[in-house]
Amino acid sequence: MSFQQNSRDDFPVLGTSVHGKPLVYLDNAATTQKPNVVIDAIANYYKQSNANVHRGVHSLSDKSTLALEEARNTITHFLGAKNQELILTRNTTEAINGVLYGWALHNLTKGDVVVTSQLEHHSNFVVWQQVCKMTGAELKVVPVNANGELDYEWLESHTQKVKLMAFTYVSNALGTVLDVQRVVSVARNVGARVLLDGAQAVAHMLVDFTKLGVDFFAFSGHKLYGPMGSGGLLVRQELLDKNEMHPWLFGGGMIAEVHADHTLFHDDPVERFTAGTPDVASAVGLAAACEYLTNIGMETVAQHEATLVAYALEKLAQIPSVEILGPLTNRVGSVSFLYAGVHAHDVAQVLDSQGIAVRSGHHCTMPLHLAHDWIATTRVSFAIYNTKADVDTLITGFEKVSQVFGK
């Protein structure tokens, strides 16, 4: 199925109006809209298959268990991972916290170093602040240059005692793409583990966990056209086999034996990291989203969105009051900017009055904003259903901003 055969009609919310105007949704980095196939998959699960998994011998329980197993296979295949490497979570934030409790607290001690960067979303920044407080490890923050890219030379010169490098694959604020190979090479030279925040990457580019060579990969389903409350953590098989990664949730399902004085956890990582009843419906919905994108082709998705980003950069550059932030190349999905003399929230509110949904604020990246003295920024972010006409509507919307504020 070619991209052109995929219609905006696949996404029912896009047919709505805002303030009497057709919705132009450009807040996809926050969350994507959901196609009918995802909505239907969730509804059909509850209509036809709802039962608890792995705890019954009746047919409906078997059907629900099969739905979960098939969903896991679809999700891991989409991400180039092995089935056993996937731990289902509610979102990227929960996945990263899982690395804190399941790996960092067991492997970091006083004097060790965790490295992250100014680009990070708070969920990949505050977590490491906290774990350093818990363990006595030191947090080092890689600076970002004027183009919104990591200072790799700084990273390469600050590797002493580093045990973990935690970076975003794609910046949610600027769209900057990380040089993963370079980071992995530096990490392997010093024996450090690598965590990749893939929240902003999975919907925009082909991801192959095995080829990336990282140890942990966190992602959210709701940014991938899947349901909210879905996501996962990919953990490299070696860490699971060595029990270097520990379960961090305990209870039913993840145990092999329970005695009065001790408990034996399940040998199978899939079971060992599934405590309690899983959200089967969300997993089924996420799998449907992965299939939807597979049918389009991630190369096609990437090409389409690259065209939109380039078109937006071209058009925004023609507005004197707009200052584009971040790199002009090597970026994916998003374009952030400042509008001279007008607060980002005011820009977003005026655009909303024209039916245009954008994001404003610090985008959960306060270290980045503080480093560049940005009070707040406005961000437009794209998805497969966006078009150049959406960008044109955005540009027209700035005429209203100019009228309201005289700038």
Closest CA to 359 of 23, 27, 24, 19: 27
3-state secondary structure of 27: strand
Mean per-residue pLDDT of the chain: 95
Residue 164 in tokens: 């973990």
> Which residues share a beta bridge with 265?
255
The pLDDT tens digits of the residues spanning 337-368 come to 999 999 999 999 999 999 999 999 999 999 99
Asked whether 287 and 75 are in contact (CB, 8 A), the reply is yes
| Average pLDDT for 265-271 | 92
Which residue bears the tokens 């996809």? 28
39-294 topology per CATH: Aspartate Aminotransferase; domain 2 (3.40.640)
Q: How confident is the model at residue 3 (pLDDT cuts 50, 70, 90)?
A: low
Active site residue 290: no
Domain residue spans in the chain?
Answer: 3-30+297-405, 39-294
Backbone angles phi, psi at 229, to 5 degrees: 80, 20
3-state secondary structure 173-224: CCCEECCHHHHHHHHHHHCCEEEEECCCCCCCCCCCHHHHCCCEEEEECCCC
| Average pLDDT for 281-288 | 98
pLDDT, position 248: 95
| Average pLDDT for 300-317 | 96
Asked whether 334 and 173 are in contact (CB, 8 A), the reply is yes
pLDDT, position 351: 97
State pTM to two decimals: 0.96
Q: How confident is the model at residue 1 (pLDDT cuts 50, 70, 90)?
A: very low
Backbone angles phi, psi at 377, to 5 degrees: -130, 160
Distance CA 316, CA 326 (A): 13
Closest CA to 197 of 97, 106, 285, 269: 97
Asked whether 23 and 33 are in contact (CB, 8 A), the reply is no
Of 64-73, 181-190, 250-259, the one with minimum mean pLDDT is 250-259
pLDDT, position 7: 72
The pLDDT tens digits of the residues spanning 39-77 come to 999 999 999 999 999 866 899 999 999 999 999 999 999
| pLDDT of 284 above 90 | yes
Strands (E), 221-376: 231-235, 255-258, 263-265, 322-325, 334-339, 356-357, 359-361
**Rg from Cα positions in the chain:** 22
The pLDDT tens digits of the residues spanning 69-99 come to 999 999 999 999 999 999 999 999 999 999 9
Asked whether 293 and 224 are in contact (CB, 8 A), the reply is yes
Q: How confident is the model at residue 253 (pLDDT cuts 50, 70, 90)?
A: confident
pLDDT, position 381: 98
Closest CA to 365 of 332, 326, 398: 326
3-state secondary structure of 142: strand
Q: How confident is the model at residue 6 (pLDDT cuts 50, 70, 90)?
A: low
3-state secondary structure of 253: coil
The single residue of 139, 302, 364, 376 carrying the catalytic annotation is 364
Asked whether 279 and 88 are in contact (CB, 8 A), the reply is yes
| pLDDT of 2 above 70 | no
Closest CA to 213 of 190, 243, 242, 234: 234
Residues 6+ apart with CB under 8 A from 395: 315, 316, 319
| Average pLDDT for 113-140 | 97
Closest CA to 36 of 385, 391, 387, 389: 385
* CATH code assigned to 3-30+297-405: 3.90.1150.10
Instruction: Give me the amino acid identity at 54.
Output: H
Backbone angles phi, psi at 259, to 5 degrees: -120, 170
For residues 391, 397, 399, 403, the Cα torsion angle rounded to the nearest 10 degrees is -160
Residues 6+ apart with CB under 8 A from 241: none
